[in-house]
Amino acid sequence: MLGRSEARVPASPAEARLETFPNPARRNYRIHFETSDFTSLCPITGQADFAKIEIDYIPNKLCVESKSLKFYLASFRNERGFNEAITNRILDDFIRACEPREANITASFSARGGIALTVRASFPDHPKGRGPVEPAKSDGSAGRRPTARR
What is the set of active-site residues?
42, 49
Other CB atoms closer than 10 Å to residue 145's CB: what's the count?
A: 8
Q: Note every long-range contact of 17-21, with CB atoms under 8 Å and residues 24 or more positions apart, other chains counting.
A: 17/68, 17/72, 18/64, 18/65, 18/68, 18/69, 18/72, 18/93, 18/94, 18/97, 18/98, 19/64, 19/65, 19/68, 19/97, 20/62, 20/63, 20/64, 20/65, 20/97, 20/98, 21/62, 21/63, 21/65
In the three-class reduction of DSSP (H, G, I as helix; E, B as strand; rest coil), residue 66 is classed as helix
